[in-house]
Structure 1
Amino acid sequence: MSSIEQLSDRIPDFAKDVRLNLSTLMADETFSPQRKYGLLLASAIATGNAALIDAVESDACAVMTSTAIVAAKAGASVVAMNNVYYRFAHLVSNPQYKTMPPRLRMNVIGNTGMDRSDFELWSLAVSPINGCGACIDAHEKTLRVEGVSSEAIQTAVRFAASVQSVAIAIGAGRPNPSQARG
């Protein structure tokens, strides 16, 4: 039994749909195993749920190169930074901030050691979890230029949505400490 399967068993019954969605995505063959597990890993990192990150990374090690695992982690971290910055620039009412350079180091984007479309797909998956419309648009546009289909892009976002819901479900399924005291 894989770590993701073990984690799936921890999803509470109130989140049966979440468990079924995860199962469906794990069986999905839209992407290569490396692309698929990169999506899962980057999305898990974006949720911040340690149990989910550990489970996904454990399984990812069997199908991803070490370079790809590092790229998924780097993508999740640099995209999280960009998501905060660009969400601010988009939401603040003062238009001056949209014209100012971010002055944030993000060299990893141009030097991942990975196929650009894989890295962009992983970056796209992180952006809806973090709620940045500007980054979603930028990654989607780059993916389309790279020749990635709308269906593949939608599937990547379905992965992100499902991973986020798993994080919420396993977090909500923890025993309540006040109830455990009896």
Structure 2
Amino acid sequence: MSIDSLKSRIPAYAKDIKLNLSNVLDPHHLSEQQVWGIALASAIASRNAEVLGAVAAEAETKLSPEARTATRTAAALMAMNNIYYRSTHLISNPDYGKLPARLRMNAIANPGIDKLDFELISLAVSAINGCGMCLDAHEREVLGKGATKEGVQDALRIAAVIHAVAVTLEAEAVVGAERAAA
């Protein structure tokens, strides 16, 4: 499946999402590797097979094998880190935030792609997973590595739209299944 065929599956009530999908994949403040790394990791984090299939097919032509691997690594690590750090932040007892995480994250030190790109991808996944502590940490890292606030915004916009496409198509699948069963 392609991005265009994915857009054709978005229902009329979500026309804004369809239009945004076209726009966010052509931002002015990110490189092609950043855009497609963020899109692929966002699709992974959004957990919708149809969206992931379409984005992965497009990313295959836009990202090097190393960038695809690093993107999957970022999505996997953030799946773990976002849960852990969000939890230690939300638990009222501040002692948990002072304890060492004791979770392996060696790939963050040497992700196989430019650290800025890896951090932008991690930022986008952290937005989908709702970890404010991780968002703050990744935003500081990307700004410190030369990203602009507009680049951060582009990364967040890609994550938001990819996730919205996944939610919309998942809702349509459930509603369609319920109609078929009735």
Q: TM-score range by the shorter chain?
A: over 0.9
Which sits farther off after the overlay, 29-38 or 148-157? 29-38
2:84 is paired with a residue whose SS is: helix
Please show how residues 13-92 of structure 1 align to structure 2 within 5 Å.
13-92=12-91
User: In the aligned structure 2, how far is the partner of 1:153 from the partner of 1:49?
Assistant: 24
Identity %: 46
Mapped pair 1:127 → 2:126: yes
Cα deviations across residues 157-177 of structure 1 (Å, max 9, x unaligned)? 011111110101111122532
Alignment of 1:117 with 2:121, yes or no, is: no
Give the 3-state SS of the residue equivalent to 1:27 in structure 2: coil
Partner-residue secondary structure (3-state), 2:62: coil
Structure 2: runs of 5 or more not aligned: none
The residue type paired with residue 138 of structure 1 is A
Q: 1:27–1:146: structure 2 CA closer, same or farther, 3 Å change rule?
A: closer
User: Corresponding residue for 2:136?
Assistant: 137
Q: CA deviation at 1:34?
A: 1.5
Match of 2:179 in 1: 179
For normalisation by structure 1, the TM-score amounts to 0.95
Instruction: Name 1:166's counterpart in structure 2.
Output: 165
| 1:152 aligned partner | 151
Q: Which string of whole-angstrom CA distances, capped at 9 and with x for unpartnered residues, describes residues 50-89 of structure 1?
A: 1111111111110110000000000011011000000000
Runs of 4+ in 1 over 6 A off after TM superposition: none
TM score, norm. by length of structure 2 = 0.95
Output one character per residue of 1:12-57: Cα deviation in whole Å (capped at 9) or x when no partner. Answer: 1111110011011133343222111001001111111111111111
- C-alpha contact (below 8 Å) 2:30/2:154 kept by paired residues: no
Residues 78-103 of structure 1: per-residue CA shift (max 9 Å, x gap): 01100000000000011110100011
The Cα of 1:10 is off from its aligned counterpart by: 0.5
Alignment partners' CA distance in 1, 2:140 and 2:26: 27
Q: Give, in whole Å, the separation in 2 of the partners of 1:27 and 1:115.
A: 20
Q: Distance in 1 between matches of 2:125 and 2:177?
A: 31
Matched pairs, number: 181
- The question of whether the paired residues in 1 share the 8 Å contact of 2:124 and 2:155 is answered with yes
Determine helix, strand or coil for the equivalent of 1:176.
helix
Q: Distance in 2 between matches of 1:103 and 1:152?
A: 32
